Structure 1
Amino acid sequence: MTLLAVERIKLFSTRSPWWCMALALGLMVGFAALVSASASNAGELSVPMSQFGFTFALAVILVLATLSVTTEYRFNTIRTTFQAVPSRTSALLAKTTVVAFVSGVLGLIAAFGSVGIAMLIQPDANLALNSEADWRQVAGTGLITFFAAVVAISAGILIRHTAGAVSLLLAYSLVAENLVQLIPSIGRDIHQWLPFNVANRFLTGNPDLAQVVDGPGSSTSTLAPWAALAYFAGFAIVMLVIAIVTAKKRDA
């Protein structure tokens, strides 16, 4: 518990996490307000449409999680942490737990806040969470941001440089996965198993790209939604294990 308290203090004692949290929340709720205000009538608005800003908020959360690690490497405070805590595994797991929990709660607040602002702007719209798919689309955002933060922390531990880690994560999650589909013959098959594409499968629950789905991008994955979440969680855990093993073998 002491390690968790220390990591909580370190996370909230600097300005960048606060700015990132405010930006992620503002982007997701702001896009929901924009989409709701732009709808010509209440019938056009749906629960998935209220989550239109998820991709942008996720990008900011990835930056937040990465900075929580790379900032320590930049200012060499990670060296002090490893000297104070005999087990690097414990220290890194504590950091991961705190940052991932904060990211998950932030994603949850942003998702429900988006639905809330949409209801305020379009009170006659059908935005009630009446199905498992609706609940997964909104409440499931917290689970995806939780595990996405684990992936970002792992990348930060492995790369250690803010610019490199942030650039890699954003380029991969926003651009590279979609570009894989352009590879002749095997591109679409590979894309089905890429982690952020699979994460969208959990949220949208619909692999049929012929159907218009607003909010988080439609997924080409054919996994069942909860199997998709398990896959994404497994990927995050594997990344974290690799990062911790690497951190233990090299100098701080």
Structure 2
Amino acid sequence: MSVLNAERIKLTSTKSPIWCSLIALVVSVGMAAVFGIFLKSMISSGDLLISELTASDTQLGAVNFGAMLVMIMSVLAVTTEYRFGVIRTTFLAVPHRAQIIASKALLLAIVAAVLGSVIAVLSYYVAQATSGVTVDLGARDNARELFGVPIYFTLLAVLAVGVGTLVRQSAGAISLLLLWPLVIESLLTLIPRVGKYVGEFGPFNNMSYFLGNQGPIDFRWGPWGGLLYFTAFVAIVFGASLFLVNKRDA
């Protein structure tokens, strides 16, 4: 408990988590508002006929931009300590290094879950208010797509802590986390003939499937299988970080 409290103090005493959270909130909800306004103009002009939105439509800002900020926030919580040598002092005070990393992951996962919940709910209502089109949570997979956002944010926080611990350098860890879903998995999906088969094994592709964005990939498992796949990927990466943090010098 003392380790958890110490990590809480360090987390709340730095500015990056606050700024990342605020930017994620403002931009994600702002994108929902812009989407709603654009949709309303399309409907008013007669270019689009639509009577109902899906929950995933309202969460475009959250799953694209907000998710990136969560990863950056979580990475910096680890790599900043490596950069300034603070982690060495922490490891001297608490020899069980894995306990420190696990405490960081737990705290950041809680922050990410709360942030994801707030962003998801606000985006949900703002998109409806600005577009004039409603979302029926009881229809189709809307409830899963809405409440899947805080689950996604929680898993991203744990993943980012793991990657930050493995890489130990801010630019490298952030680049890897951002380029993996945006470039690597996207490019693999575009490979002729084999892309659709390779794409279904991409961790972020599976999470997108769970959140209602299947794309051109035909998954062999359902959306909940996609969540389990991504969760397993996060567990492997984070488990590797806990193992290696005890093997390497600080």
Change (3 A) 1:208 1:18: closer
The aligned counterpart of 2:185 is 177
Aligned sequence identity (%): 37
Amino acid corresponding to residue 180 of structure 2 in structure 1? Y
Change (3 A) 1:16 1:81: same
Amino acid corresponding to residue 72 of structure 2 in structure 1? V
Amino acid corresponding to residue 80 of structure 2 in structure 1? T
Q: Offset of 1:222 from its aligned partner?
A: 3.1
The aligned counterpart of 1:86 is 95
Does the CA-based 8 Å contact 1:201-1:223 persist in structure 2? no
The yes-or-no answer on 1:48 pairing with 2:46 is: no
Superimposed CA distance per residue, residues 206-252 of structure 1 (whole angstroms, 9 cap, x where no aligned partner): 6463xxxxxxxxx5433211121111111101101111111110111
Does the CA-based 8 Å contact 1:207-1:222 persist in structure 2? no
Does the CA-based 8 Å contact 2:56-2:211 persist in structure 1? no
Aligned residues: 241
> Per the alignment, in what secondary structure is the counterpart of residue 99 of structure 2?
helix
Q: Offset of 1:44 from its aligned partner?
A: 6.1
Does the CA-based 8 Å contact 1:36-1:45 persist in structure 2? no
Equivalent residue runs for 1:102-141 within 5 Å: 102-122=111-131, 124-131=132-139, 133-141=141-149
Normalising by structure 1, what TM-score? Answer: 0.89
The yes-or-no answer on 1:237 pairing with 2:235 is: yes
Equivalent-residue separation in structure 1 for 2:52 and 2:137 (angstroms): 16
Bigger mean CA offset, 159-168 vs 177-186: 177-186
Equivalent-residue separation in structure 1 for 2:224 and 2:192 (angstroms): 30
Does the CA-based 8 Å contact 2:7-2:104 persist in structure 1? yes
What's the RMSD between the two structures over aligned residues? 1.8
Q: Offset of 1:132 from its aligned partner?
A: 6.0
Equivalent-residue separation in structure 1 for 2:136 and 2:189 (angstroms): 35
Bigger mean CA offset, 180-189 vs 154-163: 180-189
The yes-or-no answer on 1:222 pairing with 2:230 is: no
Does the CA-based 8 Å contact 1:197-1:220 persist in structure 2? no
The yes-or-no answer on 1:74 pairing with 2:74 is: no
Change (3 A) 1:107 1:244: same
Q: Offset of 1:185 from its aligned partner?
A: 3.9
Q: Offset of 1:121 from its aligned partner?
A: 2.5
Q: Which runs of 5+ in 1 are unaligned?
A: 210-218
Q: Offset of 1:142 from its aligned partner?
A: 0.7
The aligned counterpart of 1:2 is 2
Q: Offset of 1:119 from its aligned partner?
A: 3.2
Change (3 A) 1:221 1:76: farther
Amino acid corresponding to residue 90 of structure 2 in structure 1? T
The aligned counterpart of 1:64 is 73
Q: Offset of 1:2 from its aligned partner?
A: 2.1
